[in-house]
Amino acid sequence: MALLLRILKRLGLIILAFLVIYAVGRPIQIWLDGFYTGDRGPYLQMMSSDAVTLRWQSEYKFAGVVKYGINPEQLNKIQREPDITEEHEIRLTGLKPATKYFYRVGDGENDSIKGIDFWFKTSPQIKSNSDKAVRFWVTGDQGYPNIIQDQVRDAMLGWVNQNPRSTNSSPTVDFWLTTGDNAYRSGTNEQFQAGFFEPYKSILRNTPVWPIYGNHDARRWVFFDIFTFPTKAESGGVASGSEHYYSFDYANIHFVVLDTEGSDLDVDGEMLSWLKKDLQATRQQWLIVFSHHPPYTKGSHNSDNKGDSGGRLITVRENILPMLEEAGVDVVLSGHSHMYERSDLMNCHYDNSSTFTASMVREKSKNNKYKKKENYISSNSGTIYAVIGSSSKVDHGPLDHPAMPYALQEAGSMIFDVKQNQLKAYFINKSGQVKDRFEIIKGVKGGVESKGCN
């Protein structure tokens, strides 16, 4: 008996020692994971029609300088950083809309990064009747640095080059949005370098990026240090006061980015209170919303399962979807589930998949062309939901959610083309094939009308 007590005491001490080591060591490890030393970027943040934030990191400290101008041979404007640092961040203001600028970054003496490849194009003016052709790229859960990530990226670049918007427009995309989980496994600064900044280096120097906060990004504390997001409506919309959630406008499109990982999802919470105001204020032609956790999925996550991701998928569906549909959201894009799934034009499905009925589908189209009666955002006029979570990894799942009949266990990403009253979307797999597509046209007689839920 005495021997047993001694063994138990010793075991207890060992467990206690482990707990103490973990309690002290874990925060230290998380803190250390916040560091990355070396060159990074440049990358473009918070693009608007008259400003952009340029960020980059250098191995050594200096006060950063950006030289820029419309003529690549004559960069006649200059902006200096006030402080000496390795993590450089300079906002260029007073720019002209829809204009291509060339730039160099460095310490002012030696432009460490320069060349004809370094340019950006400012957003066009925000106008609900804009006639600009807008093309943007959407990836999801693309943070594994691997061959699939490279293939998906190159497949998009190849497809875009073969399918230019018009003979006069640039073959690149105007900007890039992700549906979250940007650096696996834990969103450390080193993982962001390997899984995000290195593989997309040549895209990031020209293409403004809006990465969404996923659960893997939230495992460390670097996401909001690495990226700069609007808090004061710097790129349009209503000021959110938080980098976690915000909105921005591009031509005739209003984008809303939600944080379904770290923010309060209560209807009366800060994020959804802001969302209500933002949705009421917009007068754009199109409304597109991003949420990492999908309301409908039967992929590598299950939106019927209360235990899945702390119930966030269900809360998104119950608390957020009614608000979005009431406001007239056209498209909701999510990630988290590592495959591709898409709905028809639908609304009013806020419960488990067993409650889904055919009457919730507002339009089912054989050729995937959907028509809406109103020319602008219109309450409860049907929404397309898509899960894009396979841009670097494909997982398994039944793919049988009744609301998501178009489902593929394939790696890929999406290209969206929006011009005036027409939106076209393409899911491009890692071989460059379009494996799903849909189109929404607004202002069509006989198109889907506003109809709320009973």
Q: Of 55 and 336, which CB lies nearer to Fe ion in the complex structure?
A: 336
Site string for Fe ion, 137-176 (x = CB under 5 A): ----------------------------------------
Identify which of 16, 101, 107, 108 has the alpha carbon closest to the alpha carbon of residue 58.
Answer: 107
- According to the binding rule CB under 5 A, does residue 392 interact with Fe ion? no
Q: Does 132 bind Fe ion (CB under 5 A)?
A: no
Among residues 288, 318, 290, the alpha carbon closest in space to that of 303 is found at 318
Size of the site for Fe ion (CB under 5 A): 4
Task: State yes or no: residue 336 binds Fe ion (CB under 5 A).
Answer: yes
Residue 308 near Fe ion by CB under 5 A: no
Cβ at position 307, least distance to Fe ion in Å = 15
Name the residue nearer to Fe ion (CB basis): 190 or 217: 217
Q: With contact defined as beta carbons under 8 Å apart, do 275 and 289 qualify?
A: no
Question: How is the chain split among helix, strand and coil, in percent rounded to 5?
Answer: 25, 30, 50
Q: Under a CB-based contact definition with an 8 Å cutoff, are residues 424 and 353 in contact? A: no
Residue nearest to Fe ion (CB): 336
Helical spans, DSSP H, in 263-361: 270-281, 312-315, 321-327
Which CB sits closer to Fe ion, 206 or 215?
215
Q: Does 393 bind Fe ion (CB under 5 A)?
A: no
For position 390 contacting Fe ion by CB under 5 A, the verdict is no
Long-range contacts of 301-310 (CB under 8 A, 24+ apart): 301/336, 301/337, 301/397, 302/397, 303/353, 303/401, 304/352, 304/353, 304/354, 309/215, 309/336
Looking at the Cβ atoms of 215 and 421, the one nearer to Fe ion is 215
Report the nearest approach of Fe ion to the CB of residue 163 (Å): 30
**Between 208 and 299, whose beta carbon lies closer to Fe ion?**
299
Which of 33, 174, 181, 410 touches Fe ion (CB under 5 A)? 181
Contact pattern for Fe ion over residues 203 through 222, marking x by CB under 5 A = -----------xx-------
Closest CA to 49 of 102, 3, 95, 100: 95
Q: Which of 134, 113, 220 is nearest to 177 (CA)?
A: 134
The nearest distance, CB 335 to Fe ion, in angstroms, is 6
CA 50/CA 61 separation, integer angstroms: 29
> What pairs with residue 102 in β-bridges?
69, 119
Quote the tokens at residue 215: 């659960």
Among the residue ranges 67-75, 181-189, 314-322, 437-445, the one whose residues contact Fe ion (CB under 5 A): 181-189
Report the residue number, 217 or 278, with the smaller CB distance to Fe ion.
Answer: 217
- Interacting residue ranges for Fe ion, rule: CB under 5 A: 181, 214-215, 336
